[in-house]
Amino acid sequence: MKLNKAFYLLSCCSLMLLAACSSKKIEETNNDIDFSGAESNLTLPDGFKAVVVAEDVGAARHITVAQNGDIYVSLRNKTNGGGVAALRDTDGDGKADVRKYFGDHADTGIQLHDGYLYASSPTAIYRYKMNGEDLVPQGEAEVLVKGFPEQRQHNEKAFVINDKGELFVNIGAPSNACQKKDRQKESPGMEPCPLLEEHAGIWKFSASQTGQTFSPEKRFATGLRNIVALDWNDNTEALYVVQHGRDQLFQNWPDYYSKEESAKIPAEAMYKVNENDNFGWPYSYYDQTKSAIMLAPEYGGNGKKTIDETDYAGKFEKPIISFPGHWAPNGLVFYDGKQFPEKYRGGAFIAFHGSWNRSPMPQQGYKVVFAPFKDGKPAGDYSEFANGFAGTSSPQPSSANHRPSGVAVGPDGSLYVADDAGGTIWRIVYSDE
């Protein structure tokens, strides 16, 4: 008994020493980052610097960082035989010198949780058991949830897992506005919209139970056209999302909207999501220039009629933050690190992928913005945090050098940004020296 107790105490001390060494290693690695090169052209606030961790990793979507600093990136398409890129920096200069690929699936979602690496495909969520210091998992992927609907548009199965082991998965709408003829001029909307049965919302599952199957009964919230950016806020114990707003108001309804109006609205809206919430798609959209939820033209709207004038009054949730139209929010993370100045603690970083539907106005997005939070609520206006990704002032998506798609906070408080146009991974750090 005494021997077992001594062994237990020795094991605990060893683990504590290992943790302390690991923490020290991370801190030293941060101090040893090599900023001498000119490979990062990002525009950042004073005191921040960025280093390019890796280039040409593939169409990098979401990103997650392990406690030892290893980086895992989900890829839109399989690259070098895998749908996940694994990166390791062995010499502490901030640049990955080991790169490996694995996984038969490719999509957007990825997250480390409770000793497993979770990743998505368009039809399933998988997980891999992570083993000690191995960069890539040695075992086969387990199927956590299968049977998600595969669709022509908005096919990404972005997800997030909270500290309770709850798995929240986006299922986007395979449609712009649930028209009888999708994206066709003056085609009316289907009412009720049948797509809401299996799409356009957030579904909840268990992160610890394998062999689950998608079903409409697992729906957590509805009326969300497409969610790629989502995160769990530990401070409020709640889910937050940023929605891709609808397209083509002018193109499909020129009697009600000018080209300029259609370029600006609807907002890319950030919501706090509670169970059974309804966010209004396809029957409504949020017009940030009017600060109002508007009735969609497919359902009798004319660009002026709000839902308060309809039977939908009071049924749909309002955004907590609204961003300009068609910026395409693809990544969201709440900052839980301590490296950045106090004003960033608990706030939200949002990666915008960049627009295609703002003509004849300049295309916009292609940046990372910061939204301050206090006591779990937005606390002031959002601000630009990182820019310079696109390479030109107003690019079309096909000509942008980089398009931010994923953001993650590392164990030392660094912010990582992934790009699915150039396949580049950045690490952004702060120093008051």
What integer best gives the mean pLDDT of the chain?
92
Any bridge partners for residue 407, and if so which?
417
**Cβ neighbours around 36 below 10 Å, total:** 8
pLDDT band at 432; cut points 50, 70, 90? confident
pLDDT in tens, 97-137: 999 999 999 999 999 999 999 999 999 999 999 998 899 99
User: Is-above-0.85 flag for pTM?
Assistant: yes
Phi, psi values for residue 333, rounded to 5°: -150, 135
Backbone phi, psi, residue 378, to 5°: -55, 135
pLDDT over threshold 50, residue 22:
no
CATH of 40-430, one of 2.40.128.20, 2.70.50.30, 2.120.10.30, 3.40.50.300: 2.120.10.30
Look at residue 35 and tell me whether its pLDDT is greater than 70. Answer: yes
Instruction: Retrieve residue 51's tokens.
Output: 């280093």
Least confident piece of the model among 7-16, 162-171, 375-384: 7-16
- E strands, 13-114, in order: 48-54, 60-65, 71-79, 82-88, 98-102, 110-113
